């Protein structure tokens, strides 16, 4: 069988792609943190659909979670046996989605897919169902045409990516030995509209929580209190100024520098004429890999100590999330083979990049597994009227299929 056979089959799958996207979207897979019950219903629907299509070698790795009614968060692996098992080609997508946000900004029901102008609309259709479906249909191209891939292919449908992956990839890396160092690991959960960038590195991620405790007082008598809000404002500015301390630049990333941004702010006093005795805010810090989080923490502690002394407050520092991961080498097999497959399918020469956002790739790299993040998408994730271009999904499936077939396709 030639690649032309695979390509032609994928070109004819629009109706089935819409069917699967519609099915997945109809099961809102929201984390408990977002008021949902997790991914169980969506995972069950996907299992049934895959089985009906002929992908029957399925295995579940459920992470216990007492916050959801079923008591677990599902992680599903579908296997398509290859000619040899010297290495496995993994495609990792996530089942969970984010909330719809402001419903009035949607032109239709976010949980009911509709297709218009070659685009599929609905919550989750791009993030991450486009990548999920591209992996599924690339695998189905082999199953339906009776072709055995060069290496065993495994599709991992993970839980909990949108809220930190504690019940998804982090759980799997801690509790199960699924991956090998020689495996090819592709994560279709980020990219650009032309499919020309392969993410091989992530900035170190640090989410700080700062709780400032001062002394409450009447707004007309600030001398009798210690304004926690004022101290917090100054601290936010000092932490933001760390961008000038950690000032190196790296063109692999956009923006090419480390960022320290105050973001979430909790309510303090309910009335205008009270000096707040407590204030809480958060920092989203994305640091170039040339710096360690230990260096950043040390500078943050200096800033905290200065504010405590100057404003007579106590500051509690904690971390909502901290991820420090190495880069995948640009000459790693996953990068070179993905680059070759993109060239074969689209004629484009892809380039390696780094990103500021976090993906499951970071957790894999920490454990020594080279992973690459790639997809062709318009990045409508988390937005109202999220959409996926069908032609992008099909093209990405062809690229993955080219990797699955290897030198024999």
User: Which residue segments constitute the domains of the chain, with CATH numbers given?
Assistant: 3-190+359-408 (3.40.630.10), 205-322 (3.30.70.360)
List b or e across 107-140, with b for residues whose CB sees 16 or more CB atoms inside 10 angstroms: eeebbebebeeebbbbbbbbbbbbbbbbbbbbbb
Tokens, residue 186: 């592709």
Alpha-helix runs per DSSP H in 250-368: 293-311, 333-346, 360-366
C-alpha 300/C-alpha 293 separation (Å) is 10
Name the DSSP class of 331: T
Q: Kindly give, in sequence order, each residue whose CB lies less than 8 Å from that of residue 147, ignoring residues fewer than 6 positions away.
A: 1, 5, 6, 141, 405, 409
How buried is residue 211: exposed, middle or buried, by Cβ count under 10 Å (0-12/13-18/19+)?
Answer: middle
**Cβ–Cβ under 8 Å, residues 75 and 61:** yes
Per run of 10 residues, the mean pLDDT along the chain (length 409 residues) is 90 98 98 97 98 98 98 98 95 98 97 97 98 98 96 98 95 97 97 96 96 98 97 98 97 94 97 98 96 97 98 97 91 97 97 89 95 96 97 98 89
Q: Which of helix, strand or coil describes residue 395?
A: helix
Q: What is the pLDDT of residue 86?
A: 93
Half-sphere exposure of 91 (CA within 13 A, CB side): 30
C-alpha 308/C-alpha 304 separation (Å) is 6
Whether the model pTM is above 0.85: yes
Q: What is the pLDDT of residue 357?
A: 75
C-alpha 254/C-alpha 158 separation (Å) is 27
Q: What is the pLDDT of residue 359?
A: 86
C-alpha 67/C-alpha 310 separation (Å) is 43
**Cβ–Cβ under 8 Å, residues 139 and 153:** yes
Rounded to 5 degrees, what are φ and ψ at 49? Answer: -65, -45
C-alpha 222/C-alpha 161 separation (Å) is 45
Q: Enumerate the active-site residues.
A: 96, 161
């Amino acid at each position: 069988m030639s690649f032309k056979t695979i390509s032609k089959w994928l070109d004819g799958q629009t109706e089935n792609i819409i069917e699967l996207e519609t099915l997945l979207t109809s099961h809102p897979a929201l984390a408990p943190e977002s008021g949902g019950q997790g991914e169980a219903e969506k995972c069950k629907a996907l299992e049934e659909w895959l089985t009906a299509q002929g992908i029957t070698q399925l295995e579940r790795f459920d992470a216990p979670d007492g916050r959801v009614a079923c008591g677990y968060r599902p992680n599903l692996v579908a296997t398509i046996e290859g000619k040899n098992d010297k290495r496995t080609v993994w495609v990792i997508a996530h089942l969970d989605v984010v909330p719809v946000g402001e419903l009035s900004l949607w032109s239709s029901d976010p949980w009911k897919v509709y297709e218009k102008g070659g685009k599929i609309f609905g919550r989750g259709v791009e993030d991450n169902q486009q990548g999920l479906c591209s992996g599924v249909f690339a695998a189905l191209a082999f199953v339906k045409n009776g072709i055995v891939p060069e290496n065993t292919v495994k599709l991992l449908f993970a839980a909990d990516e949108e809220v930190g992956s504690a019940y998804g990839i982090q759980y799997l890396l801690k509790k199960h030995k699924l991956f090998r160092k020689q495996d090819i690991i592709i994560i279709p959960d980020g990219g650009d509209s032309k499919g020309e960038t392969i993410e091989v590195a992530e900035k170190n991620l640090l989410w700080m929580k700062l709780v400032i405790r001062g002394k409450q007082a009447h707004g007309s008598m600030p001398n009798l209190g210690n304004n926690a809000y004022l101290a917090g404002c100054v601290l936010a500015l000092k932490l933001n100024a760390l961008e000038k301390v950690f000032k190196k630049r790296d063109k692999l990333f956009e923006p090419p520098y480390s960022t320290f941004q105050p973001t979430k702010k909790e309510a303090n006093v309910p009335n205008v004429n009270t000096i707040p005795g407590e204030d809480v805010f958060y920092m989203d810090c994305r640091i170039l890999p040339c710096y360690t989080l230990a260096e950043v923490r040390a500078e943050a502690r200096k800033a905290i100590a200065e504010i405590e002394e100057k404003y007579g407050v106590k500051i509690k520092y904690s971390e909502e999330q901290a991820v420090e991961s190495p880069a995948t080498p640009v000459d790693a097999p996953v990068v070179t083979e993905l680059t070759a497959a993109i060239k074969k399918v689209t004629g484009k020469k892809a380039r390696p990049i780094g990103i500021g956002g976090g993906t499951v790739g970071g957790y894999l790299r920490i454990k020594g597994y080279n992973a690459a993040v790639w997809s062709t998408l318009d990045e409508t994730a988390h937005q109202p009227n999220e959409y996926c271009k069908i032609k992008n999904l099909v093209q990405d499936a062809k690229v993955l299929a080219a990797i699955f077939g290897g030198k024999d396709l």
